[in-house]
A and B are shown apart, each in its own frame.
Chain A
Amino acid sequence: MSAPAAVRDHRQAEQKRELAFEFLRYMAMMREVEDRIERKLYRQGKIVGGVYVGRGQEAIPVGVGLTSDTDDVFCPSHRDLAIFLIRGIHPRQIFAQYMGRVGGLTRGKDGNMHMGDMNRRIISIISAMAASVPVAAGAALALKYKGTHNVAYCFFGDGATSRGDWHEGVNLAAVQKLPVIYVCNNNQYAYSTPLSKQMCCADVADRAPGYGIPAEIVDGNDVFAVHEAALRAVKHARAGQGPYLIECKTFRMTGHSAHDAADYVPRHLLEEWERKDPIARLEKRMIQNHWAKQDDIEQLRAEIRREVDDAVEWAEKSPFPDPSELLDNVYERS
């Protein structure tokens, strides 16, 4: 017997409220961690090399990531830090990774977001754009081979869809009906190259029919919309119906990387998208729907700042790798 309508509505509203808090927690954490990386530690010279962030795109990894089961597998892109948080990687490990310390996921063998952890089913980001698309097909193949209903999530930008690997990987997954969920963050730029010079079709989603797979376009700055699209995609893939593409329209709210002032991006676009900031939008919605009071949000933010302070402190205490580790792990026995 189903519960009376009023009780059911109440329960659903409560679930939505809780989900909103979970979204906010991960999105705000990603923003805070990346702000600290890009605007503080990098500028202080404590992080060297390249720094790439997903500022303004947090709704995508969070909305999608929270549809996963423990045994699903992820191939995140360089703008999906929240995936690591959702899978249980501690901010301490992330800062240590960025600072080249042994406490990072790669013990200093690689830097920044170029990390992974198979224990948490995160396949390392591959620097070569779109190279993870065939890899995700293989991971999905293994999930299917073992008779599970798990899925592989594969993230990339709009620019990556120009590479051959993207097309080979999607086609293989489509032909083999593999459970892969493709998540494109269409932030309208690939480094300095605007979408119009990247491809001739209007939407990345236009590529899907060429491979016989479904696609949908969502507002990538609306975490609920992203989440719902991802739920549809996951349902499709778990049911053995093959891959599914979600194109999330968004905007890159920084330069390509920390060294890039992005002078090639018209200011009005940045201003327009600033008003669509996914975190501010979520907070506004939470207050309007009486899911939260301003105080609750302030409190959450303060908690996150404290956690991040602690994580930075921890990472700074994590030692640098000893040069004697240089030759380790080239092979199983080396």
Chain B
Amino acid sequence: MLMTYLEAVRRGIWEEMERDPNVFLLGEDIGVYGGAFKVTAGMLDHFGEARVIDTPISESAIVGAAIGASLMGLRPVAEIQFADFITCAYDQIVNFAAKCRYRWGAAVPMVIRAPSGGGIHGGPFHSQNPEAWFAHTPGLKVVTPATAHDAKGLIKSAIRDNDPVLFFEHKALYRRIKEDVPEDDFTVPLGKAAVVREGRNLSIITYGAMLYVAREAAETLAREGISAEIVDLRTLVPLDDQTVLESVKKTSKVLLLHEDTLTGGMGAELAARISEKVFEYLDGPIVRVTAPDTPVPYSPPLEEAFLPNAAKVAERARWLTHY
């Protein structure tokens, strides 16, 4: 069935709530209003207010309460209205949720959903990509779907997972991406990347909204006779480095692409793993195309300059191919 990325997330949650009465939702404006982006529209009416809880503006309490409920056997799905505000709950996530299993053997199955990413003129407070903050924290899983199919399959896996999962939905994809998504109960496993385009000359490793930038660049490059392979990571933790390394071994050149800023981003980690594990296969330097190390600017020309785009990717890819 044709559906948007947003609808895919919504269907995934809906199905999990139908399947498991322990799944419930909490967050700001998710009930009566159906969520700032309407991901939870209709859920209050269908599932009732015990399972769709409108909370005060209290990110730390939302996440803290999700952890407490999870420890008691429920499966909370908490929404942070904008991923930027997840910082208000950082302590609960990083200091408590992430460490429970390791410290005292207590499982914390819960999902924190947060719309992240730029390209919607949201400015510095409504556009960030905070995935690397959490990918650095042992004990958390980090999921970043790029397609509607994966958005549904991954949210379902995330809800069934027995560890705390951060689920970053790219808000610029919510209504932009519309594709055929199975209506049945399928899942996409956490920790499995996908080779979404086969190629010979270089590998573009990416995730989230940048998948579409990579695709556009690959089309341009193809017209020039350069064959780019694209790997969509889908989950950042667990990181499927096997798929990445196989691709690099095959093409011998790699371009790492993310919308998050440069320093300490996922690209840095991938670069390290690639050079540690398949250095001998490389025929050129590892190239990163990312946002620069600045806050996400508001004004359209600034934001456009900030975001990686197909032209920038193609340019670096050409350089790398001819290296």
Bound complex: CA of A175 vs CA of B62, how far in Å? 13
Residues of A contacting B64 in the complex (Cβ-Cβ under 8 angstroms): 131-135, 137-138, 165, 168-169
Residues of A contacting B60 in the complex (Cβ-Cβ under 8 angstroms): 131, 134, 164-165, 168-169
| Min C-beta distance of B188 to chain A, whole Å | 17
Q: Does chain B have a CB within 8 A of A332?
A: yes
User: With A139-B71, A171-B58, A330-B139 given, is the CB distance from A134 to B65 under 8 Å?
Assistant: yes
Q: Does chain B have a CB within 8 A of A260?
A: no
Residues of A contacting B58 in the complex (Cβ-Cβ under 8 angstroms): 134, 168-169, 171-172
Q: Does chain B have a CB within 8 A of A313?
A: no
Tell me which of B39-47, B98-106, B258-266, B303-311 binds A: B98-106
State the 10 A-B residue pairs at the shortest beta-carbon distance, nearest first.
Answer: A134-B64, A138-B68, A138-B65, A142-B72, A168-B61, A168-B58, A139-B68, A135-B68, A138-B69, A134-B61
Q: Does chain A have a CB within 8 A of B138?
A: yes
In the complex, per-residue mask of A112-128: 1 if CB is within 8 Å of any chain B CB, else 0: 00111110000110111
Asked if B103 and A106 make an inter-chain contact with CB atoms under 8 angstroms apart, the answer reads yes
**Which A residues fall within an 8 A CB radius of B?**
73, 105-107, 109-110, 114-118, 123-124, 126-128, 131-143, 145-146, 152, 164-165, 168-169, 171-172, 175-176, 329-332
Of listed A114, A128, A138, A329, residue having the most chain B CB within 10 A: A138
| Min C-beta distance of A212 to chain B, whole Å | 13
Q: Does chain A have a CB within 8 A of B203?
A: no
Q: Does chain A have a CB within 8 A of B162?
A: yes
Among B61, B105, B141, B163, the residue within 8 A (CB) of A171 is: B61
Asked if B74 and A106 make an inter-chain contact with CB atoms under 8 angstroms apart, the answer reads no
In the complex, per-residue mask of B63-77: 1 if CB is within 8 Å of any chain A CB, else 0: 111111111111010
| Min C-beta distance of B159 to chain A, whole Å | 14
Of listed B58, B72, B91, B138, residue having the most chain A CB within 10 A: B72
Asked if B72 and A171 make an inter-chain contact with CB atoms under 8 angstroms apart, the answer reads no
Of listed B53, B66, B105, B238, residue having the most chain A CB within 10 A: B105
How many A-B contacts are there with CB distance less than 8 Å? 140
Asked if B102 and A330 make an inter-chain contact with CB atoms under 8 angstroms apart, the answer reads yes
Q: Does chain A have a CB within 8 A of B1?
A: no
Among A132, A135, A175, A331, the residue within 8 A (CB) of B101 is: A331
Among A115, A134, A164, A171, the residue within 8 A (CB) of B63 is: A134
Asked if A138 and B53 make an inter-chain contact with CB atoms under 8 angstroms apart, the answer reads no
| Min C-beta distance of A165 to chain B, whole Å | 5
User: With A110-B104, A330-B138 given, is the CB distance from A165 to B74 under 8 Å?
Assistant: no
Bound complex: CA of A126 vs CA of B91, how far in Å? 10
**Which B residues fall within an 8 A CB radius of A?**
24, 50, 53, 55-56, 58, 60-74, 76, 91-92, 95-96, 100-107, 138-139, 141, 161-163, 238
Among A126, A139, A331, A332, the residue within 8 A (CB) of B69 is: A139
Bound complex: CA of A158 vs CA of B46, how far in Å? 43
Bound complex: CA of A308 vs CA of B71, how far in Å? 31
| Min C-beta distance of A267 to chain B, whole Å | 37
Bound complex: CA of A114 vs CA of B71, how far in Å? 16
| Min C-beta distance of A143 to chain B, whole Å | 7
| Min C-beta distance of A74 to chain B, whole Å | 12
Among B56, B103, B162, the residue within 8 A (CB) of A124 is: B103
Residues of B contacting A176 in the complex (Cβ-Cβ under 8 angstroms): 53
Asked if B50 and A145 make an inter-chain contact with CB atoms under 8 angstroms apart, the answer reads yes
User: With A131-B91, A142-B74, A165-B60 given, is the CB distance from A137 to B68 under 8 Å?
Assistant: yes
Bound complex: CA of A133 vs CA of B141, how far in Å? 24
User: Which B residue's beta carbon lies closest to that of A139?
Assistant: B68
User: Which A residue's beta carbon lies closest to that of B58?
Assistant: A168
Asked if A124 and B55 make an inter-chain contact with CB atoms under 8 angstroms apart, the answer reads no
Asked if B103 and A145 make an inter-chain contact with CB atoms under 8 angstroms apart, the answer reads no
Bound complex: CA of A318 vs CA of B141, how far in Å? 34
Residues of A contacting B68 in the complex (Cβ-Cβ under 8 angstroms): 123, 134-142, 152
Of listed A115, A117, A139, A168, residue having the most chain B CB within 10 A: A168
Residues of B contacting A142 in the complex (Cβ-Cβ under 8 angstroms): 68-69, 71-74
Asked if A138 and B104 make an inter-chain contact with CB atoms under 8 angstroms apart, the answer reads no
Asked if A332 and B106 make an inter-chain contact with CB atoms under 8 angstroms apart, the answer reads no
User: With A145-B24, A172-B56 given, is the CB distance from A127 to B95 under 8 Å?
Assistant: yes
Residues of B contacting A127 in the complex (Cβ-Cβ under 8 angstroms): 95
